[in-house]
Amino acid sequence: MAVTTKLLRTLRLDASDTFVFERAAAAGEWAVTGTFKFWDDNPAILHGRPKQAFRSGFLGLSTFGWSTLAVVVEATPDERHDAMLALARHLFDAHDAPDLTAAQAAAADEIAFAESLAQHPVQTLVAVHRTLTADGSISEQFRTFHAADAKQATAMPCSAGAFALVEDDAAAETADDTFDLTAAARAAKP
């Protein structure tokens, strides 16, 4: 059996990410925290969808869109390497890394951090909450949700299969920081 590690993949339980973020990640992309995307911004003045990405987004490594949730999955060394190369190319092309060697070093650090966040059982959900501290630095807190947590919360057992990747074409635009999921569900009913 091939040696594997654990990494994060973007997860889409419903269409809400398409409403919340400027660009939503596709379901199943390799994911990193993506905090580096805000290094040149002033998070204190972000608003709308960029603020939502700052607050709660994981960065997908195919579309470079955002996902509210990531899920712990197994990854082969080749998959880990490919994710690192995709991120390195993005850092070089879109974030002014001085050269590919520097971009690969930064990408390797980002992948290693994602790997550290994935040290939970496979199918564990991970969420991030970012804030700006009083000294102007970025603070990140990570929460996890395990299938065992769902068993305790409900009378029905929950399996990892409950966390399915779902594609949803019903995306609507919203300009502010909030999204009323109930109103969207009502509008979507025939």
The residue to which tokens 């973020």 are assigned: 21
Q: How many CA atoms lie within 13 A of 17 on its CB side?
A: 26
- Domain positions in the chain: 5-188
Looking at the predicted structure, is the pLDDT value of residue 94 above 60? yes
- Structure token pair of residue 129: 């909450």
Q: pLDDT, tens digit, for every residue of 111-147?
A: 999 999 999 999 999 999 999 999 989 999 999 998 6
Residue percentage of the chain with pLDDT more than 90:
71
Full-prediction pTM beyond 0.75?
yes
